C-alpha cells in the first residue's frame, strides 16, 4: 500500500472535538477516494492519563506533551489543531512556518490580529478551518439550488444558533466561558458557524448592527449575540446565537427568501432541506421537505444509500474528504484560513457594533 502518499498527522488536543477529528481521519478513506493514506501518528496533550486512553481509543500511535517538538519532526506532514482558541495562533503559525499542512478548529482565532498573522503564515501551505456544517449535504444542496437560480433575487437571510449550555454548570466552568482562552462566548463558539454559512450561501456582508448580551453577572464572555446585516447582494439578514436558547441542545438553522422561492434548513433535521418553489402553480405551492441525501444529491455517492441518514460526524469526514481531493487535484479548498479571517473580521465588527451601539461597515 506504499504506492500512495502517506500523510502522517499530529493532533494537538484530545478533547471532544479531537475525537471527532480523529474519527474523520480513520473514516475518510472509506468514503472519499483520494490517493492519500492518512496515518494518525502522534497526539499531543498535557494530561498524561486521559491522553493515553484517548490515543488508545482513537488509534494514535504515539503521544506527546510538547507541541513545539512535534512541529519540528520531519516525519509529520499535517498538524491538526483542536485546542482552546487562544492557542490556535501560535501553533498554526509555527506549523505553517515549518511547512506543515494545517487544519484548525473554528473560530480561527481570538482576534483579527491573530487571524491576519495566521492567514499570512498559512498562505504557503494547504490549510483548512473546521467549519464542518458547511458540508452537510442539505446545505451543499441549498447552495447548489441557489446557484441554479431557484430562489431568484434574494431578499432575506435569517440564521439562528441555539443551545442551552449557558444554564448548565458543567459547561460554564470550561475554557469556553473564559475570555482569555475563548476570546468570546456565543459569538465565536456558535455565531461563527452561522456567519461562515451565510458567506457561503449568500455572499459578503457589507455592514452589521449588533447587540451582545451577557445574562450572568461577571461572566466574561457574551451569552448571546443578535445582529442585523446588509449583504452586498442587496438582501438583508438577521442572526441570533445564544447559549440561553432553552429547549435546544444544538440547533443551527437558516432560512432564505428570494423572489422565486424559499429555502430552510434546521440542524435538528440535518437530513432534510425545506424548499418552497414560488414558480409552481399557485394552488400547488407549498413547503417541501427534500430528504437529503437523495438521488444525485451532494455526497450521495460517498456515504450510504438515499434515505439512509447520516449524522454529525459525517460533516467532518466530508470536510476532510474534500480537502484531500483538493490537495490531490491542486485546487483551492474552502473554507481556508482566509475564510476564517473573514469570519473573524465579522466577529470583530459585531463586537465593535455592540459596544458602540452603531452600525459597522466591513469594508
Q: Within 139-168, which residues bind a second copy (CB under 8 A)? A: 141, 155-156, 158, 162-164, 167
Is beta strand 236-242 parallel, antiparallel or unpaired with respect to 224-231? antiparallel
How many chain residues bind a second copy (CB under 8 A)? 84
Contact stretch for a second copy (CB under 8 A) within 67-75, 180-188, 207-215, 329-337:
207-215
The reply on whether position 226 binds a second copy by CB under 8 A is yes
Find out whether 344 and 112 touch, Cβ atoms under 8 Å: yes
Q: What is the closest distance, in whole angstroms, from the C-beta atom of residue 59 to a second copy in the complex? A: 8
Cβ within 8 Å of residue 193, ≥6 positions away = 106, 131, 133, 161, 252
Verify binding: residue 352, a second copy, rule CB under 8 A: no
Q: 287-291 and 127-129: which strand pairing?
A: unpaired
Span from 64-72, 76-84, 181-189, 231-239 in contact with a second copy (CB under 8 A) = 231-239
Whether 129 and 340 have beta carbons less than 8 Å apart is answered as yes
CB of 283 to a second copy, least distance (A): 4
Which residue matches cell numbers 501553533?
91
Q: How far is the CB of 358 from a second copy (least distance, A)?
A: 7
Among positions 278-297, residues that touch a second copy (CB under 8 A) are 278, 282-291, 294-297
- The grid coordinates of residue 305 equal 444509500
Examine residue 112 and tell whether it contacts a second copy (CB under 8 A): no
Taking alpha carbons only, the member of 138, 349, 109 closest to residue 230 is 349
Residue 6 binds a second copy (CB under 8 A): no
The position carrying cell 442585523 is: 228
Site membership for a second copy, residue 312 (CB under 8 A): yes
Please report which helix (H) or strand (E) contains residue 196, including its range. helix 192-202
Cα–chain center distance at 347: 14
Closest to a second copy by CB, 102 or 162 = 162
Rounded-to-integer distance, Cα 195 and Cα 348, Å? 12
Nearer to a second copy, 226 or 341 (CB): 226
Classified as helix, coil or strand, 203 is coil
Closer CB to a second copy, residue 140 or residue 347?
A: 140
**Binding piece for a second copy, criterion CB under 8 A, among 97-105, 192-200, 310-318, 342-350:** 310-318
Q: Is 215 in the site for a second copy (CB under 8 A)?
A: yes
Amino acid at each position: 500500500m506504499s504506492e500512495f502518499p502517506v500523510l502522517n498527522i499530529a493532533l494537538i488536543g484530545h478533547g471532544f472535538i479531537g475525537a471527532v477529528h480523529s474519527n474523520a481521519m480513520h473514516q475518510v478513506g472509506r468514503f472519499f477516494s483520494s490517493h492519500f493514506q492518512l496515518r494518525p501518528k502522534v497526539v499531543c496533550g498535557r494530561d498524561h492519563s486521559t491522553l493515553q486512553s484517548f490515543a488508545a481509543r482513537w488509534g494514535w500511535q504515539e503521544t506527546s506533551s510538547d507541541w513545539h517538538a512535534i512541529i519540528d519532526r520531519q516525519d509529520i506532514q499535517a498538524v491538526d489543531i483542536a485546542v482552546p482558541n487562544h492557542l490556535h495562533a501560535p501553533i498554526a503559525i509555527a506549523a505553517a512556518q515549518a511547512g506543515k499542512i494545517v487544519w484548525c478548529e473554528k473560530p480561527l482565532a481570538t482576534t483579527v490580529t491573530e487571524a491576519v498573522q495566521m492567514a499570512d503564515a498559512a498562505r504557503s501551505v494547504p490549510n483548512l478551518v473546521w467549519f464542518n456544517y458547511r458540508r452537510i449535504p442539505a446545505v451543499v444542496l441549498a447552495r447548489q439550488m441557489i446557484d441554479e437560480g431557484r430562489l431568484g433575487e434574494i431578499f432575506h437571510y435569517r440564521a439562528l444558533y441555539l443551545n442551552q449550555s449557558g444554564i448548565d454548570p458543567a459547561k460554564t466552568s470550561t475554557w469556553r466561558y473564559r475570555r482569555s482562552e475563548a476570546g468570546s462566548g456565543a459569538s465565536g463558539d456558535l455565531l461563527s458557524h452561522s456567519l461562515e454559512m451565510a458567506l457561503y450561501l449568500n455572499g459578503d456582508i457589507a455592514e452589521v448592527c449588533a447587540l451582545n448580551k451577557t445574562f450572568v453577572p461577571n461572566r466574561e464572555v457574551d451569552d448571546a449575540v443578535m445582529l442585523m446585516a446588509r449583504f452586498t447582494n442587496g438582501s438583508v439578514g438577521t442572526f441570533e446565537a445564544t447559549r440561553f436558547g432553552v429547549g435546544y441542545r444544538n440547533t443551527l438553522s437558516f432560512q432564505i427568501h428570494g423572489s422565486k422561492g424559499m429555502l430552510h434548513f434546521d440542524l435538528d433535521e440535518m437530513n432534510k432541506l425545506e424548499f418552497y418553489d414560488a414558480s409552481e402553480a399557485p394552488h400547488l405551492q407549498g413547503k417541501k421537505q427534500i430528504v437529503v441525501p437523495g438521488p444525485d444529491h451532494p455526497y450521495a455517492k460517498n456515504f450510504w444509500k438515499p434515505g439512509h441518514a447520516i449524522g454529525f460526524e459525517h460533516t467532518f469526514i466530508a470536510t476532510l474528504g474534500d480537502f484531500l481531493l483538493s490537495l490531490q487535484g491542486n485546487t483551492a479548498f474552502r473554507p481556508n484560513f482566509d475564510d476564517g479571517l473573514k469570519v473573524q473580521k465579522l466577529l470583530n465588527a459585531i463586537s465593535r457594533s455592540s459596544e458602540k451601539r452603531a452600525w459597522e461597515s466591513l469594508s
